[in-house]
Amino acid sequence: MLRRTLSLLFWAFLTVSSILLFPVAVLIWVVTTPFDRRLVVLHRFTCFWASLYTWFNPAWPVTIEGREKIRDDRAYVMIVNHQSLLDILVLFRIFRHFKWVSKIENFRIPWIGWNMRLNRYIELRRGDRESVGKMMRDCERTIAEGSSIMMFPEGTRSVDGRLRAFKPGAFQIALATQTPLLPIVLEGTGDALPKRGFVLQGRHPIRLRILDEIPYESFARQSAEDLTLAIRNLFAKELGEAELTPVSGSVGSPQHGP
């Protein structure tokens, strides 16, 4: 009963604060858009907005490691494992510029989804080939403009907390745009707020680790399929899970570092 009550208070706080903060986002958008074409200021405000929900929740102490590895003068394809709705809130805590790639349903959420549209985050309709093609083009354009993109290569949240298979889209984009990859490992969010549930699960420390960037030159000769498996195995190693074996041949591991 206590968990349900606290969960109700949390979701009520999220709803009320979103109603109050969305007009601020609109004002920032109106004032800054003429000189801030990448919407850096609006995204930074969105980072603040999203961070409120972990800053003020003592049940979710967040540790961030490696933030200094993110270069402000470089665009990345940022890739993250996906355990929970909470992942999104925690990732905003890095306070670096990027554009989300997100399922179209999220853009329909009142206030929060509307703010995603203001930020020009990138929509994806799952299972729609035309939408996937448009998403890829939007990502390439966004990177060309100097903004990083943030993607969950698993496509959806893990039910049991274990790493799912990776989809190749993020890696096709990195190869097509010759953009470095930036792996980000999340731990603890699935325990704090599991998939298919909205009841907070007590105190669970959350750890976000930004790994070394993987420069384009280290994977330029790999196919998207081989690169997908290699990076999935990198995440498995970081999370202490079993690595996958390629069906045929061997997969080279991209080298870290600049």
Domain annotation covers residue 208: yes
Q: How far apart are CA 201 and CA 203, in angstroms?
A: 7
Q: What is the pTM of this model?
A: 0.90
The sign of the torsion formed by the CA atoms of 72, 139, 39, 186 equals: negative
Domain annotation covers residue 97: yes
- In the chain, the number of structural domains is 1
The residues with which 214 forms a beta bridge, in sequence order, are 181
Q: How far apart are CA 127 and CA 144, in angstroms?
A: 26
Instruction: Dig out the tokens for 241 from the structure.
Output: 């899970």
Residue 217, domain extent: 2-239
Domain annotation covers residue 169: yes
Return the CATH number at 103: 3.40.1130
Q: How long, in residues, is the chain? A: 258
pLDDT recorded at residue 32: 97
Domain annotation covers residue 252: no
Domain annotation covers residue 63: yes
Domain annotation covers residue 8: yes
pLDDT recorded at residue 127: 81
- pLDDT means per 10 residues, the chain with 258 residues, are 76 94 98 96 98 90 95 95 91 97 93 96 90 95 97 84 90 97 94 70 86 97 95 94 64 48
Q: How far apart are CA 89 and CA 46, in angstroms?
A: 10
